[in-house]
């Protein structure tokens, strides 16, 4: 059997899978579609992160393909319907990086509120500007969540521990899975999240419905001091409209871990705003989450290839 890995995977997972199959590891393969097509022809399994676009053409080429392992959560880079039609199973690492993303968002909220890095740099210049670096408390501020699933409810728990009020919009959440009484999130409509929040954090998948979910109309509802945090997917926030909203002072700023087209060059227009901070899709990337994800995905791929039951199969009911 052959397992093809087209993006970065920690060595421990690769070695685990070598016990049952030949493993071809090429972390840059996602960049070259033709090479991926050539290599997938005799692969039984494919392992990807979020950069390999697994479209119909790739799935057509993968005649022997039985399973795709997603080293993470978001599935917007995989044509799920085409995979289902070809009986290719998908395993994903549900919630294995949720704590990492929740902690990243808390770090952003604290960074936006207290200029510690800037104050430290100023002191190194020989200054002692105490008043200049007066910050804000996050205690009593409102965090608005768009999407209250695995990441959203973990973030709520952490924000509530800091004394924040947490409201959330998620029309599809199942109360049975995530009881709001236990998560501490007050369930509201999207407009209320936008009107009431000091921080708006996005935690929904990229779908036809969520593409450009936040654009000019939505920014116009927001407070002037509000900060948008997007760790979810580029494409959910309309980037041109965001740039205008931030530069015109309609909202205070944005922290984006994800962009519509990744990676970007240094002249990318969003990087020209001093009020927008972009990080290179790292919210879920910690040593701990990577170990969890690697173990789950390598184990689950082997289970599928050996005909055993996997509890990490993505539902084909979409
Ligand atoms: N930047 C990073 O490193 C990472 C990014 N992600 C992204 O975060 C997303 C969310 O991850 P999880 O919380 O684990 O997923 P999840 O599936 O547990 O939660 C997503 C929630 O969004 C809700 N939702 C779906 N459509 C919606 C809509 N139109 N309006 C409002 N709510 C809607 C669902 O009901 C669900 O509760 C992933 O799909 C992925 O794109 C996930 C992990 C790491
Ligand atoms: O760490 C990665 O490769 C991507 C994480 C992510 O975006 C996800 O899990 O959906």
pLDDT tens, residue by residue, 266-281:
999 999 999 999 999 9
Residue 316 maps to a domain:
no
Q: Which residues are catalytic?
A: 233, 262, 281
Domain boundary among 243, 259, 278: 278
Q: How far does the centroid of ligand 1 lie from the alpha carbon of residue 43, in Å?
A: 30
Give the 3-state secondary structure of residue 91: strand
Nearest to 51 by CA among 316, 312, 261, 301: 261
User: Do both 88 and 103 map to the same domain?
Assistant: no
**DSSP per-residue string spanning 12-62:** HHHHHHHTTSEEEE-TTGGG-HHHHHHHHTT-SEEEE-SSS-B-HHHHHH-
C-alpha–C-alpha distance, residues 4 and 38, integer Å: 11
- The closest-lying atom of ligand 1 relative to the alpha carbon of residue 94 is 14
User: Do both 301 and 266 map to the same domain?
Assistant: no
Q: Is the CB of 285 under 6 A from ligand 2?
A: yes
C-alpha–C-alpha distance, residues 48 and 72, integer Å: 9
Q: Is the CB of 97 under 6 A from ligand 2?
A: yes
Neighbours of 81 (CB within 10 A): 11
CB–CB of 258/281 below 8 Å?
yes
Sheet of strand 67-70, all strands in order from the earlier edge strand to the far edge: 22-25, 2-5, 45-48, 67-70, 89-92
Q: Which of 73, 260, 288, 289 to mutate to test the pocket of ligand 2 (most atoms within 8 A of CB)?
A: 73
pLDDT tens, residue by residue, 29-61:
999 999 999 999 999 999 999 999 999 999 999
Within a 13 Å sphere around the CA of 289, how many CA atoms are in the beta-carbon half? 20
User: Do both 168 and 143 map to the same domain?
Assistant: yes
User: Do both 146 and 262 map to the same domain?
Assistant: yes
Q: How far does the centroid of ligand 1 lie from the alpha carbon of residue 205, in Å?
A: 4
291 — pLDDT class (breaks 50, 70, 90): very high
C-alpha–C-alpha distance, residues 49 and 287, integer Å: 16
Q: Is the CB of 293 under 6 A from ligand 1?
A: no
User: Do both 45 and 184 map to the same domain?
Assistant: no
Domain boundary among 278, 295, 313: 278
When divided into structural domains, the chain yields a total of 2
Domain membership of residue 147 as a residue range: 98-278
Neighbours of 14 (CB within 10 A): 17
Nearest to 262 by CA among 283, 291, 292: 283
121 — pLDDT class (breaks 50, 70, 90): very high
User: Do both 135 and 245 map to the same domain?
Assistant: yes
CB–CB of 208/183 below 8 Å?
no
ipTM field: 0.99
User: Do both 249 and 122 map to the same domain?
Assistant: yes
Residue 35 maps to a domain:
yes
Q: Kindly tell me if the per-residue pLDDT of 180 is higher than 80.
A: no
User: Do both 262 and 145 map to the same domain?
Assistant: yes
Residue 56 maps to a domain:
yes
Helix/strand/coil (H/E/C) assignment for every residue in 98-165: HHHHHHHHHHHHHHHHCCHHHHHHHHHCCCCCCHHHCCCCCCCCEEEEECCCHHHHHHHHHHHHCCCE
Percent of the chain's residues with pLDDT above 90? 95
CB–CB of 198/225 below 8 Å?
yes
Q: Kindly tell me if the per-residue pLDDT of 318 is higher than 70.
A: no
Residue 86 maps to a domain:
yes
pLDDT tens, residue by residue, 292-310:
999 999 999 999 999 999 9
Q: How far does the centroid of ligand 1 lie from the alpha carbon of residue 203, in Å?
A: 4
Residue 310 maps to a domain:
no
CB–CB of 93/236 below 8 Å?
no
Q: Kindly tell me if the per-residue pLDDT of 191 is higher than 70.
A: yes
Residue 172 maps to a domain:
yes
User: Do both 186 and 222 map to the same domain?
Assistant: yes
User: Do both 42 and 18 map to the same domain?
Assistant: yes
Measure Cα distances from 167 to 24, 78, 148, 194, 228 in Å. Answer: 46, 31, 9, 10, 14
Give the 3-state secondary structure of residue 8: coil
Residue 314 maps to a domain:
no
pLDDT reported for residue 178: 76
288 — pLDDT class (breaks 50, 70, 90): very high
Q: Which of 169, 205, 317 to mutate to test the pocket of ligand 1 (most atoms within 8 A of CB)?
A: 205
User: Do both 60 and 110 map to the same domain?
Assistant: no
Q: Is the CB of 73 under 6 A from ligand 2?
A: yes
Q: Is the CB of 92 under 6 A from ligand 1?
A: no
User: Do both 65 and 145 map to the same domain?
Assistant: no
Residue 266 maps to a domain:
yes
pLDDT reported for residue 176: 76
The CATH number covering residue 241 comes to 3.40.50.720
């Amino acid at each position: 059997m052959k397992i093809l890995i087209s993006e970065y995977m920690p060595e421990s997972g690769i070695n685990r899978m070598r016990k049952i199959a030949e493993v071809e590891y090429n972390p840059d393969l996602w960049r070259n579609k033709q090479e991926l097509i050539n290599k997938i022809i005799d692969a039984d399994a494919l392992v990807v992160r979020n950069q390999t676009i697994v479209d119909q053409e790739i799935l057509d080429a993968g005649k022997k393909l039985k399973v795709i392992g997603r080293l993470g959560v978001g599935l917007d880079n995989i044509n799920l319907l085409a995979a289902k039609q070809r009986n290719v199973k998908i395993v994903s690492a549900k919630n294995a990086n949720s704590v990492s993303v929740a902690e990243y968002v808390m770090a952003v909220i604290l960074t936006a509120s207290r200029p510690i890095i800037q104050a430290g740099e100023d002191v190194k210049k020989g200054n002692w500007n105490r008043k200049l670096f007066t910050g804000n408390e996050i205690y009593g501020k409102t965090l608005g969540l768009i999407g209250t699933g695995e990441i959203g409810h973990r973030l709520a728990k952490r924000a509530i521990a800091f004394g924040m009020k947490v409201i959330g919009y998620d029309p599809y959440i199942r109360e049975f899975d995530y009881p709001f009484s236990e998560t501490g999130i007050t369930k509201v409509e999207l407009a209320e999240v936008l009107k009431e929040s000091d921080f708006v954090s996005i935690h929904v998948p990229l779908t036809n419905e969520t593409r450009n979910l936040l654009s000019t109309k939505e920014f116009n509802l927001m407070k002037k001091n509000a900060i948008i945090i997007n760790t979810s997917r580029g494409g959910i926030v309309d980037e041109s409209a965001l740039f205008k909203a931030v530069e015109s002072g309609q909202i205070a700023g944005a922290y984006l871990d994800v962009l519509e087209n990744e990676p970007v060059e240094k002249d990318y227009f969003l990087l020209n705003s001093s009020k927008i901070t972009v990080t290179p899709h790292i919210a879920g990337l910690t040593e701990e989450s990577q170990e969890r994800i690697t173990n789950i995905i390598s184990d689950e791929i082997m289970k599928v290839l050996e005909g055993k039951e996997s509890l990490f199969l993505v539902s084909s009911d979409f």
